[in-house]
Amino acid sequence: MKNNTRKENILNIIFSVLLFGGLWGVVEATLGSVLHLPIVHRTMFLSSTTILVPIALGLMGACYKRTGSYRSVLYMGFLAASMKALACLIFKMSFNPCFYILIEATMMIGAVLVIRPKKIISFAGLATMILASTTYLAASTFLRINVVNSFASQIMDNFVKYVFTYNCIAILYTFAGGALIYGVLKLAEARAWSVDKIKKVIYHPAFASSMAVAALAVTLILH
């Protein structure tokens, strides 16, 4: 019985990582490509930082909730980073995005271990997202700037821009997204809508595997 339970837990982690990691890859490749267009990237309200970071953290949170294992978040990071690394290797691009993905996953793990949220759609879940977002943007900003050759004012300007301004917008989007999901769940509960069939399809191993394959495909196509 214990062996069967352990096997089920391992399979749950594997397919949850494939599902949510695949979704992360698809979002990064599709929405990320749009947000990096010069005409869009000029505004902080439609920046890849303010939009993609909350989505990525939300998907990692969903994976953690599904599996109950913080390791699944790390595996998600490795999966998303590996897909990006393959595209970087094939098309001879910088590997920096891969490192940022791993940093993002690491900061989410740290936030989960500190706060230990029982539910992602909760105040504890929001606090986890805020902590992960803040630490990730602080770390990525520190790595992005040339601390040795930059003036103190330039360093401070970068931290104010990303860790405060962009992070506050990302947190607002996180709160709004969480509130919307909470509202939809409560509406479904009040109307007695059955979502069991939808869950069975989404969490089916075949669908999870297909999502990972789709993520790899769009990452390579929209490099």
**DSSP assignments along the chain, one per residue:** -HHHHHHHHHHHHHHHHHHHHHHHHHHHHHHHHHHTSHHHHTSGGG-HHHHHHHHHHHHHHHHHHHH--THHHHHHHHHHHHHHHHHHHHTT--SHHHHHHHHHHHHHHHHHHHH--S-SSSHHHHHHHHHHHHHHHHHHHHHHS-TTTS-HHHHHHHHIIIIIIIHHHHHHHHHHHHHHHHHHHHHHHHTT---HHHHHHHTSHHHHHHHHHHHHHHHHHT-
Determine the Cα–Cα distance for residues 76 and 64; give it in Å rounded to an integer: 10
* 104 close to 139: Cβ distance less than 8 angstroms: no
The pLDDT profile of the chain, 223 residues, written as one tens digit per residue, is: 566 788 889 999 999 999 999 999 999 889 888 887 777 766 778 788 899 999 999 999 999 999 999 999 999 999 999 999 998 999 888 898 899 999 999 999 999 999 999 888 999 999 999 999 999 999 998 887 765 556 666 778 888 889 999 999 999 999 999 999 999 988 988 888 877 888 889 999 999 999 999 999 999 888 7
Phi, psi dihedral angles at 144 (to 5 degrees):
-75, -35
Structure tokens at 203: 């969490």
Predicted local confidence at residue 191, as pLDDT: 87
Q: Please report where in the chains the tokens 């691009």 appear, as a residue.
A: 93
